[in-house]
Amino acid sequence: MAKVAALQMCSSHLVSENLAMAAKLIAEAKANSAELVVLPEMFAAMGLKEQDKLKIKEKYGDGLIQNFLAEQALKNNIWIVAGTIPISTQTENKARASCLIYNNQGVVVARYDKIHLFDVTLSARESYFESSTIEAGNNIVVLDTPIGKLGIAVCYDIRFPRLFAGLHELGAEIIAIPAAFTMKTGAAHWELLARARAVENFCYVIGACQGGTHTSQRQTYGHSLIVDPWGKIMTELNESKPGVIYADIDLKYLADIRKSIPLHPKL
């Protein structure tokens, strides 16, 4: 078995402040023997307004945030699923919401660009149009890691079962989901969807969340959790504050479940 960790943060608009918090939590995870850690969506900055993410976007392969992540992975000898950061595209006024995966040598071994963008109107006072600054990705990602085959999804992606079926078909055994759910949708659907995606695909699900009231006054739900392939919540952070949760990944247990109940038969 291998231990994994999910970090919960309440990121501000200040990159330096958020990187300091992330470094502290990554070190804590390593001190507790985690081999892989998952950071939340937008861990490096939750801007005061939507356009702020374009001010900190980086060219893929270089930049303050990417250099920090590489350093932390190497320093702590740990794999990092780096939430999302804005990565430049050919479109000047857009970025990709990119989840970079670093191995324990500080090398990027995979990149997933968020596919499903959060364009919603929850009420007359609360709406989000992620596509105003973010360009959608179009490739799904599964990679080999020391803890098993890892698939990646981000926040709003969790509502689209076909994406997760595709991850399963590519061999995913664990799915990491960096997230920043709203209070309204989080309270109603976060746990339900995380457990559903785990059971539908008999995968471990690691949900690393933003949680609390941010400097923009936006509120996120938190409740980072790790779910086993049978849909059981192994651990959850119920408080809206930074913290780390842990669970052990047991691939034999997963294999036994998959053997007993085959999934995704051909239509």
Residues assigned a catalytic role: 41, 114, 155
Could you tell me how far CA 164 lies from the centroid of its own chain? 14
Cα distances (angstroms) measured from residue 109 to each of 53, 79, 102, 160, 198: 24, 10, 6, 25, 24
CB 174 within 8 A of CB 249: yes
| Longest pairwise C-alpha distance within the chain | 51
d(CA 156, CA 246): 23
H helices then E strands: how many in the chain? Answer: 7, 17
Amino acid of residue 264: H
Q: Give the rounded distance of the alpha carbon of 127 from its chain centre.
A: 22
Cα distances (Å, whole numbers) of residue 240 to 71, 122, 151: 28, 21, 26
Distance CA 117, CA 141 (A): 17
